[in-house]
Structure 1
């Protein structure tokens, strides 16, 4: 099947051809006809499956078939909500590409950049706006944006918006729109809160589910290194000695961690830049552009940027820190293996992160193979570690090859004997709890 078979109008087909789109992906093949028919849609699909075109192509066509009334000016007729600035900008760029031969205009409304620039774009008129919830609420409250003419609403990466605490903003934004509208809802995972939201927002939706919820793309090769504490940076430096790794996206848990990893990579002559919430939008966009163009070899990111980084030929994703939310792992590694390419997802795990690894394997329903041949193995393994085939095995005791048995607690005396003379005689060294430390504590308090 090609895009012509989906009854897409010639101007949009021309834009798709310019972007080298020939055959629709499975989600595009199922979603586009449903959206063109005016149906609400629930899309459950992994990142990297082509869902941006799945909702934006039919929206462009529907709005093109009903042009704005000249006397009324351009009204915002479609709103696309995105959890991150990077993803919003990426969606806007894609829509501009698909709609270049139509009369449709779009604008990105995101935080971290000048509001005046966005006000100017709005004053010139936009049929579609792609926005992050925070900045959009600011402009709505300032009466700079009117959502009363919205005909099509898209919630993209809804589960991520839930994780980032945007759900209340989203509900307030929806209350500013007409109750009668077409709603397209996309989420890679379906936690209970999202399921409740779907029931309240969608009317008789068409459900498109391309892969099982929280599954990982088959063409991504996954592996894990069990490392001694404090050796992750050494392991990353060691891995990046392989010159075949042209581009690598490294995820850290914190902003300070991202900056620290970037500094350490620079010390060993690896070009790296960090991208996280403390960076200005201009700095984040510059770092992303440098990464896409190959000027920067390693991009170090926190999860705030996990769903807005779209590099078609990204070969490696490295989890420097394992996420404590298993679904986040799915979104992270989904940055590679895109557009039909293969990819590798490498994870570092120390003793404290072993519970996170177990949770991730439960969610993805597979064991992640362990790489054992490396210079920084975990020497003091926890109660359960993984063998080379990824199965669980008891940690070996150094003398007996059996797990060490826990010592039994001594039997407790009954309370009646706690303060007997015999008890005091047996504990002649006992002193009241008025130690030096307690005096220090009093002074401290």
Structure 2
């Protein structure tokens, strides 16, 4: 379907045309008409499907008509991380080039100047507020935010927000909204807790569920079956044969991320770590340096697995197994996104991770090629998931900083006319 078939305002279509957006993605085709009808909606769609535009465009479209209160907050978009909030803000800036709709991103980790700028933007009535739950609540407690005129309440990556422990924050914010507010939820997965949340905040919602996409065939998926202590040696062997460039290494614990980045730095690799303990300015600098090619290896928690667009990633390495098969898809989906359209995914599978890895293979409906261990690494265990059950029940941690086994310490705005000043 073409965007010009969706009954969007002319100025909104102008912005899409200037960005060379002509055809809708499946999630956009299914959700935009429903949102334009004013219905609550819950949509299950993973990152990379165009879901941000799916909810942003109809919201911008309705605000641009000029029928909603002026100089008031008309839409609140909740995001689990600062990076995703920033990315949504950037997309809104592009979509609103030809319409007088303003936005402000509200997130933690900034200095006093950042706080004042966020407060000023909301007090002056930014049309759209993109916020992380904790930061928006902090402004609410200070009495600087009025949500009484909000017409749209959107939860992006709702499952991730619940995983991070934001349920109570979300409900506190929701209770401050007018009863006429249209609520929209997007989630990559649909576990019972998401359905429970939907029952509490959505009114007779339309449900749209797109099948979880399998990784594209352009991603070569491989694995090393190894002992845990061999993982560092495998990385060392890999990087000695081919100098690392544009590599992301994922770990499920920020403790592992910190320790692994230290180990790789001692090996004289150009490495940076990305996790929630970094100040916002530090995280922005790391992402900037990595995108610009000044950093070769980014060691990260799942904070960058969803919702962050980084082109031309050559290799994604799972230093340890993600918490479920869908997270595996999100992680390796960071590669094969640039002009080459090709990428390599490598997963290091220890004995206690074999059962979980088998679950991933079953989810994908394919057997992932197991690469023989390099001779210098030594002999690894047999791949037999029934022989090596997991040591603990698999599941998502409530917070990114959950304690896990450590890594071995050594190798053994808007623009428009006119724009509100925020």
Q: Same fold (TM over 0.5)?
A: yes
Does residue 140 in structure 1 map to residue 140 in structure 2?
yes
Give the whole-Å Cα distance in 1 for the aligned partners of 2:376 and 2:225.
Answer: 8
CA contact (8 A) 2:12 2:61 kept: yes
- What residue in structure 2 maps to residue 109 of structure 1? 106
| Higher RCO (C-alpha 8 Å, min separation 6) | 2
Give the whole-Å Cα distance in 2 for the aligned partners of 1:117 and 1:138.
Answer: 14
Give the whole-Å Cα distance in 2 for the aligned partners of 1:200 and 1:160.
Answer: 18
Out of 89, 92, 95, the residue aligned to residue 92 of structure 1 is 89
> Structure 1 length as normaliser, TM-score?
0.79
- Measured after TM superposition, the shift of residue 270 of structure 1 is 3.2
Distance 1:280 1:54, change over 3 A: same
- What residue in structure 1 maps to residue 214 of structure 2? 216
- What residue in structure 2 maps to residue 192 of structure 1? 192
Structure 1, unaligned runs of 5 or more? 387-391, 396-445
- What residue in structure 2 maps to residue 66 of structure 1? 66
Give the whole-Å Cα distance in 2 for the aligned partners of 1:67 and 1:246.
Answer: 51
- Measured after TM superposition, the shift of residue 171 of structure 1 is 1.2
Q: Tell me, what secondary structure is at the counterpart of 2:184?
A: strand
CA contact (8 A) 1:46 1:334 kept: no
Distance 1:227 1:62, change over 3 A: same
> Structure 2 length as normaliser, TM-score?
0.83
- Measured after TM superposition, the shift of residue 53 of structure 1 is 0.8
Q: Tell me, what secondary structure is at the counterpart of 1:144?
A: coil
Give the whole-Å Cα distance in 1 for the aligned partners of 2:268 and 2:15.
Answer: 41
Provide the aligned C-alpha RMSD in A.
Answer: 2.6
- After superposition, residues 20-99 of structure 1 pair within 5 angstroms as 20-69=20-69, 73-99=70-96
- After superposition, residues 240-259 of structure 1 pair within 5 angstroms as 240-241=239-240, 246-259=245-258
- After superposition, residues 172-321 of structure 1 pair within 5 angstroms as 172-212=172-212, 216-219=214-217, 220-241=219-240, 246-321=245-320
Q: Which moved more, 1:267-276 or 1:286-295?
A: 267-276
CA contact (8 A) 1:83 1:160 kept: yes
Q: Tell me, what secondary structure is at the counterpart of 1:130?
A: strand
CA contact (8 A) 1:48 1:338 kept: no
* Pairs aligned (count): 383
Structure 2, unaligned runs of 5 or more? 389-422
- Measured after TM superposition, the shift of residue 143 of structure 1 is 1.2
